[in-house]
Structure 1
């Protein structure tokens, strides 16, 4: 591996309102420093991808925002309130689905609402709404073992949407599905971002995926991780899902990110 370069100055972004602010976040695991004075703003109602080489702290930062890990120093604010642990303003979509194997699709999607004490009629109505929205209408009474991997991931996404959290944290949610399903998920995710008016924070190892789905891409350097660059694609965002991958800006950004990250790939 080549010697680590100093981080670049983040690309200036247009003015936006932040839903999530990470300020001077450092995280140590014993003698290993995973994150070093990382600061990053996540625009409200948009999707920000965290992209970087393996082991650069993407999931660590996501878990700190979720309140599942405590930073060694620094702080995270969500809607102006400091994060001190998990909260109803955030929902996590796990890489491995994390479904209840003994529960139906309907029960799995409604589970977060059940834990919050929402009445059965209301939680089932909301669960049914999001089951339909993620394309699983008709599978309400199926069990996880009866579903494909892609369908199980849709259940996890519907569960996160159903609790109506304002911030959705997604840890490589499409990595366990085949390429065709992954592309369909990416298209569906763009529609969800547009329709739901929520803030999405998305961890991925795929450069193409990050550029395709993101309003903002934060490039992270190897540990101790910090932000190298912030990229905000512009020209292709409203051209429709079928046109993005052919857009010159999309292709240029993919090439530029690979050129900046290939140094850190062994």
Structure 2
């Protein structure tokens, strides 16, 4: 199937230039072909969700963009520079938090800055700002084992924001939290995209979540993964968080994506 851009209310939309370009990327693990000739553009300052069946290569693509693994063919560019490995222009938020168990929240959030040699007073001031932005004020001296799963995920997000990377890569960041916290995180994510002006690439299994938080949704086919279609919601992007879920386009897109994926669900 060919990649298409859909605008369900037929408005002409100006899409920002790409911060990340993935061109003809293929990846094979021994006899398993994970990605085949996959191409996708990620607009600067927006959130793009990667959505598709389990095992379709979403996390593999995210790690290739991060420079954590290499593609067998094709290339990835971030702001016009070819990705050859990890770099300060990208930050990864892992599904399992990847926090330092021996460090408190403040040091965990400041750790990337510490590795860069930023002075202690400066890095702690930056860390405190992002701790506040993710709603963890008062927990600066707490340790990961003292926090709930949702709070640990907020620490991971604050750490990624603190290093001021232009591209944030999030691998199912809300999968370990309950439904109430997940909804709150989704609302917070909308605010972060609006306020931080960074490019977010977001892996999720949830159709509703993808449609709710995304400026762009890339629907991936089962492996070997290719892009089935690219959907850009339009009518509800500027609505408040509560009313998005009631918007007819929001509901229509959910139905369309489910119709395209239901045959791949085991």
**Which range, TM-score by smaller chain?**
over 0.9
Q: Give the Cα separation in 2 of the matches to 1:153 and 1:75.
A: 30
Aligned partner of 1:110 in structure 2 is: 110
Alpha-carbon RMSD across the aligned residues, in angstroms, is: 0.9
Given that residues 90 and 169 in structure 2 are in contact (C-alpha distance below 8 angstroms), is that contact kept between their aligned partners in structure 1?
yes
Deviations 1:121-164 (A, max 9, x none): 11000000000000001110011111111111000000000000
Given that residues 33 and 223 in structure 2 are in contact (C-alpha distance below 8 angstroms), is that contact kept between their aligned partners in structure 1?
yes
Deviations 1:11-32 (A, max 9, x none): 2674420000000000011121
SS of residue matched to 1:28: strand
Given that residues 51 and 207 in structure 2 are in contact (C-alpha distance below 8 angstroms), is that contact kept between their aligned partners in structure 1?
yes
Q: Give the Cα separation in 2 of the matches to 1:170 and 1:58.
A: 11
Q: Give the Cα separation in 2 of the matches to 1:185 and 1:179.
A: 10
SS of residue matched to 2:121: helix
SS of residue matched to 1:209: helix
Aligned partner of 1:224 in structure 2 is: 224
Which structure 2 segments of 5+ residues have no match?
7-12
Q: In the alignment, is residue 33 of structure 1 matched against residue 27 of structure 2?
A: no
Q: In the alignment, is residue 204 of structure 1 matched against residue 204 of structure 2?
A: yes
Q: Give the Cα separation in 1 of the matches to 2:49 and 2:148.
A: 26
Q: In the alignment, is residue 11 of structure 1 matched against residue 10 of structure 2?
A: no
Aligned partner of 1:23 in structure 2 is: 23
SS of residue matched to 2:69: coil
SS of residue matched to 1:191: helix
The change in CA–CA distance for 1:22 and 1:128 in structure 2 (over 3 A counts) is same
Aligned partner of 2:238 in structure 1 is: 238
Count of aligned residue pairs for this structure pair: 260
Normalised by the length of structure 2, the TM-score is: 0.96
Q: Give the Cα separation in 1 of the matches to 2:235 and 2:218.
A: 18
Aligned partner of 1:4 in structure 2 is: none
Deviations 1:44-85 (A, max 9, x none): 000000000001000000000000000000000001000000
Given that residues 46 and 199 in structure 2 are in contact (C-alpha distance below 8 angstroms), is that contact kept between their aligned partners in structure 1?
yes
Q: Give the Cα separation in 1 of the matches to 2:172 and 2:93.
A: 9
Normalised by the length of structure 1, the TM-score is: 0.96
Q: In the alignment, is residue 120 of structure 1 matched against residue 120 of structure 2?
A: yes
SS of residue matched to 1:154: helix
Q: Give the Cα separation in 1 of the matches to 2:56 and 2:4.
A: 17
1:114-153 mapped onto 2 (5 Å cutoff): 114-153=114-153
1:50-89 mapped onto 2 (5 Å cutoff): 50-89=50-89
Aligned partner of 1:45 in structure 2 is: 45
Q: Give the Cα separation in 2 of the matches to 1:45 and 1:170.
A: 15
Q: Give the Cα separation in 1 of the matches to 2:78 and 2:18.
A: 9
Which structure 1 segments of 5+ residues have no match?
1-6
How far off is 1:251 after superposition?
Answer: 0.3
